[in-house]
Amino acid sequence: LTQAALERYGLPTELSAQERDAGRIPEAHKVIKHLARAEWKLTKRGFGPWARIYRPATGSERACVQLCIPSWNALDTRFWGEAAQLPPAELARVLGVYASRVMTPRGSTAVTGLELMTALHPPTHAVRDEETGTLRQADTKTPGSLGTDPVDCAPCEAPDGHPVLNALDLPRFHVRGPAEKLFEEAYDWARPMTDAECTLRHLVGIDVNMAFAAGANGLNVGLGEPTRVTNPAFDPKLPGSWLVDLSHVDLSRVKAGKEWVDLDGSLLPSPFTPKGDHPEGPAWYATPTVAYAQELGYDVTPTEAYVRYDNGRYLDGWYQRLRDAYLATMADLGVTADLPPEDFLTAMDGYKDHDPELGIVITAIKATVKGGLGKLRERPRGEGWRPGERWRALERPTWRPDIRAAVISRTRINLHRKIVKHAAFTSQYPIAVLSDCVVYAADGPSPLDFLPYRDGKPLPGGFKLGINPGLVKHEGTQTVLWGEGVREQFDAPQLNFARFIKDGTVTDADNGE
């Protein structure tokens, strides 16, 4: 609804401060009364920036209208860019492409990402009543879905303030460590440059396309409640959280495939911690992280675990839908999956400028991936949860921090595996890693100046340039002098270059993050 349409239907063109805080107009508003008289209903979210208006289904017939109201801040600039400022026809095109390739947006990109999971695996299904011949809702959940009822997470998977922690009777202000809490997060790691790296001219960043979507592809995740087991034998196919000591894993000698290789472990981030620090003792890990320790050639002996025997590849369809939306839109922008490395880098240079509206769609698709996964462990807004406060997210079956942890674990492990392959083959090590971006020192400004392509073919199991999820693109290039300069300027020898490699802008606020 444009501002002109809002005026036409008797709605405010902008929300008041009170209405913005509530996220909706009051239920006493005349428009809501008109809808009720016409036998239309609103969802529990009411009439807000993403109002959903419907009539209860009668048989196979459904009636529903999904509204997007840009002047009520429906389109967050972080995820939709300048979409709210577009003329109506152009905005309709942006939302229409997104709706046809992803789904009709139900709210923010994060909300839509979560809704897409449920739409692809509905918790209920219809069965035919043998006595009456009519359709009714099945008594059991749909196989492969999360069901209709929320399940409690394991204590180690619970964020601080979660009600499940009350039973542990922890001391006030107690800070849980790795042996009490699952810390599966994306990388934020950097190290000082070596003398040899300082003689090179450039710092080149590469970024993994749709990294978290790729991490979800083919991943076996829990569908039901966790079961606690003690001294279990580790099963890499069983989703769960495992308490295990991985401090004995030595990155100086690891298996890469079937061969043992010697590396400079001091120049590598640990695959087991978000900050890249070497683990100091027992800690909780998701299944992909423990499986990777085995893959590197080391024994693992968990002392405790919370496993989920009801499991499946819940996110496969979600990944495929978002992958196809991403690839189709990138192809419209002139970037296809069959381009040689040099042509791919050329096509990616300013690709959003070819069609800024489709560039907005690409940004929204990426935000749908990250936001949807983030919603799996949504926290209360504001300063945090307090005892007695209602935590509404816990009331839905899609509040699943274990699934989020497994995806992040696998994404981080996928990246580390490529880093190890690259190091074993080239003796080149990353200087910084932030989430899905990796920075290397190189003689030239292009990724092709350090990626080991031979006759147009990449290193098997290493980094490969391309647009498919899991492949990499050029994130940005700065000079080594720039890198040394900003580290000296901010007195931060381990300032994470990956955070600033795109445009080279560093501020005091950035340094403090």
What's the CA gap between 259 and 131, in Å, rounded?
A: 64
Query: CA 69, CA 34: separation in Å to the nearest integer?
Result: 19
Torsion on CA atoms 203, 362, 70, 61, rounded to nearest 10: -150
Q: CA separation (Å) from 446 to 209, 505, 507?
A: 17, 20, 25
- Sorted by sequence, the CB contacts under 8 Å of residue 238 that are 6+ apart come out as 287, 307, 308, 309, 311
pLDDT at 163 (0 to 100): 87
pLDDT score of 509 more than 50: no
Full DSSP string of 390-439: --GGGGSTT--HHHHHHHHHHHHHHHHHHHHHHHHHH----SEEETTEEE
287 vs 390: which has the higher pLDDT: 287
Looking at residue 45, the DSSP 8-state letter turns out to be T
Q: What pLDDT was estimated at residue 152?
A: 92
Q: Name the nearest CA neighbour of 307 among 153, 204, 423, 175.
A: 153
- Checking if the pLDDT of 268 tops 60, the result is yes
**What's this model's pTM, rounded to 2 decimal places?**
0.94
More confident residue, 132 or 299: 299
Tell me what pLDDT residue 101 has: 98
- Across the chain, what does the average pLDDT equal? 93
Cβ distance 206 to 438 under 8 Å?
Answer: yes
3 state SS for 176-211: CCCCCCCCCCCCEEECCCCHHHHCCCEEEEEEECCH
For 430-472, how does the pLDDT look when each residue is reduced to its tens digit (9 = 90+)? 999 999 999 999 999 999 999 999 888 999 999 999 999 999 9
Under the banding of pLDDT at 50, 70 and 90, the label for residue 110 is very high
Whole-number pLDDT of residue 133 = 72
Which of 457, 495, 458, 459 has the alpha carbon at shortest distance from 478?
A: 495
Residues 61 and 341 sit within 8 Å (Cβ to Cβ): no
| CA–CA gap between residue 453 and residue 463 (Å, rounded) | 10
By the 10 Å C-beta count (0-12 exposed, 13-18 middle, 19+ buried), 491 is classed as exposed
